C-alpha cells in the first residue's frame, strides 16, 4: 500500500529593509525626491482573490524610508484605467473601495497591529487590529499625512506616519509587516505575503519582516488637546452651494473632511439637498431625512448609497408611513438604517413665528 500526503512548506520570509535618511520629503503624492530611488521596495504581490496561487495581475510597489521622527511610504499602483471609491469619508470600508493598506505588527506578536490605509483619492483610514487580524477598531484616530496623484493607468500615494503615532520597543530594529491591496474595479485582492484563501485576508500569521537600518529610539505617547466644538447651520445650500463657491465653502468643506481631527462636529439642516455641495452627503456619518418627492433631492441623497441599502433609496422612502414626521435615519458609521418619526410639536405658541410687537385685537361693531 502506498500513501501519499501533500507537503505543506512554509513560504520563505520576505524582508523589506528601510533606510534611515536625513533628507526632507515633501508629502505631495509625487515621488520626485532623489532619496526615493534608494528606498527598499516591496513588490511582486500575490493574488488572494480570485485565486491564491498566482502573482497579482496589477503591479504595485511599496517603498519605505524613515528618519528620527517619521516613517515615509511611497506607493505606486497600476490600474485598469478606472478605480472604485464608494465614499470620501475617513475610515472607509476596505472591501468597498480601491485601496492599499499597511499592517505594522510592531511587537511581532502576531496578535495586534496598526493599520494605515489610503484610497487613490488620498482618503485615509487608521485602524487598531487585534485578535490576530479578526477584529478591527476604527475608533482609533491618529494624525498622519497622505497625498495622492491619479494618472491614466496608475496612481501614486505618499504617506508620512509619525513614529509617535505607534508604540514599539525601544532599540527594536525589526517589525512584522504586510501591505495588501483591494482592487475592486479589477476584481482582485493582492498581498505582499502569500495568504491561502481558507484564511482571513487580514490573518497576521502571514507577515513579512520590516528591518530598520538603525535601531529605533524610545517610543513616545503623543499628547494632544482636542476641544470638542459643535457648529450648527441652517439653509446650508446658501453656505455650501452645489455650484459656485461662497466665503464659507472651503472652511466648511475642510471641517466636513477633517473635523474629527481637531474635535469639530458640524450639524447641517436643509430643505433642498439637491442644491448643496456633494461633500455634505458623502462626508456625513448620520443623515436624517423626511419624505422627499423632488427627483433632484432624491438623487442628491442617493449619494449615500451603500451596500446595506439593498432596495435603493427610493424604495426605502416609499415604504415610510404616510404620517407627519415620518423619516429615516442613515447611520453610515454602523451601516444601518432606522425608520423614525418626529413627534408633533406642542408649544404654547402653536408653532407660529414669535413677534416682538404685541398684537392688539379690537372688536368692531357695526
Domains of the chain are 15-212 (2.60.40.1190), 229-341 (3.40.50.300)
- Say if residue 18's pLDDT is above 70: yes
Q: Are 110 and 205 within 8 A, CB to CB? A: yes
Q: What is the pLDDT of residues 292-304, one digit of tens each?
A: 777 777 777 766 6
CA–centroid distance for 42 within its chain: 23
Quote the percentage of the chain above a pLDDT of 90.
45
Q: What is the pLDDT of residues 98-149, one digit of tens each?
A: 999 999 999 999 999 999 999 999 989 999 999 999 999 888 878 899 999 9
Q: Which residue has the cell 483610514?
A: 125
Cα 355 to Cα 60, 203, 303, 345, 352: the distances in Å are 66, 65, 40, 19, 9
Candidates 276, 214, 267, 218; CA nearest to 244 is 276
- Strand segments (E) across 143-290: 145-150, 154-162, 174-183, 188-191, 208-212, 229-234, 264-269, 286-290
- Say if residue 253's pLDDT is above 90: no
| Cα–Cα distance measured from residue 170 to residue 173, given in angstroms and rounded to the nearest whole number | 9
- State the average pLDDT over residues 325-354: 72
Q: Supply 222's cell numbers.
A: 503623543
Highest mean pLDDT, choosing among 208-217, 294-303, 342-351? 208-217
Amino acid at each position: 500500500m502506498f500513501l501519499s500526503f501533500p507537503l505543506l512548506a512554509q513560504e520563505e520570509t520576505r524582508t523589506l529593509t528601510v533606510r534611515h535618511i536625513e533628507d526632507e520629503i515633501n508629502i505631495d503624492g509625487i515621488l520626485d525626491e532623489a532619496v526615493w530611488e534608494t528606498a527598499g521596495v516591496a513588490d511582486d504581490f500575490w493574488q488572494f482573490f480570485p485565486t491564491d496561487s498566482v502573482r497579482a495581475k496589477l503591479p504595485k510597489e511599496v517603498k519605505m524610508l524613515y528618519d528620527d521622527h517619521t516613517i515615509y511610504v511611497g506607493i505606486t499602483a497600476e490600474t485598469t484605467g478606472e478605480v472604485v471609491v464608494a465614499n470620501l469619508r475617513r475610515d472607509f470600508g476596505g472591501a468597498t473601495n480601491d485601496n492599499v493598506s499597511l499592517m505594522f505588527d510592531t511587537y511581532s506578536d502576531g496578535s495586534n497591529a496598526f493599520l494605515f490605509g489610503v484610497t487613490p483619492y488620498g482618503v485615509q483610514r487608521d485602524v487598531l487590529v487585534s485578535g490576530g487580524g479578526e477584529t478591527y477598531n476604527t475608533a482609533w484616530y491618529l494624525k498622519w499625512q497622505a497625498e495622492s496623484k491619479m494618472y491614466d493607468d496608475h496612481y501614486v500615494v505618499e504617506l508620512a506616519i509619525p513614529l509617535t503615532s505607534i508604540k514599539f520597543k525601544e532599540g527594536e530594529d525589526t517589525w512584522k509587516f504586510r501591505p495588501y491591496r483591494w482592487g475592486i474595479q479589477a476584481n482582485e485582492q493582492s498581498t505582499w505575503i502569500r495568504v491561502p484563501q481558507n484564511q482571513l485576508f487580514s490573518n497576521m500569521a502571514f507577515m513579512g519582516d520590516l528591518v530598520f537600518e538603525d535601531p529605533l529610539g524610545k517610543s513616545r505617547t503623543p499628547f494632544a488637546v482636542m476641544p470638542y466644538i459643535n457648529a450648527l447651520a441652517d439653509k446650508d445650500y446658501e453656505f455650501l452651494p452645489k455650484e459656485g463657491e461662497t466665503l464659507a465653502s472651503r472652511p466648511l468643506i475642510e471641517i466636513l473632511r477633517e473635523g474629527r481631527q481637531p474635535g469639530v462636529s458640524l450639524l447641517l439642516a436643509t430643505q433642498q439637498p439637491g442644491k448643496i455641495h456633494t461633500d455634505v452627503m458623502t462626508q456625513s456619518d448620520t443623515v436624517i431625512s423626511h419624505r422627499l418627492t423632488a427627483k433632484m433631492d432624491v438623487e442628491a441623497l442617493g449619494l449615500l448609497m451603500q451596500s446595506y441599502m439593498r432596495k435603493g433609496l427610493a424604495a426605502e422612502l416609499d415604504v415610510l408611513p404616510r404620517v407627519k414626521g415620518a423619516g429615516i435615519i442613515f447611520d453610515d458609521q454602523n451601516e444601518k438604517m432606522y425608520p423614525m418619526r418626529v413627534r408633533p410639536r406642542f408649544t404654547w405658541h402653536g408653532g407660529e413665528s414669535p413677534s416682538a410687537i404685541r398684537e392688539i385685537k379690537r372688536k368692531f361693531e357695526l
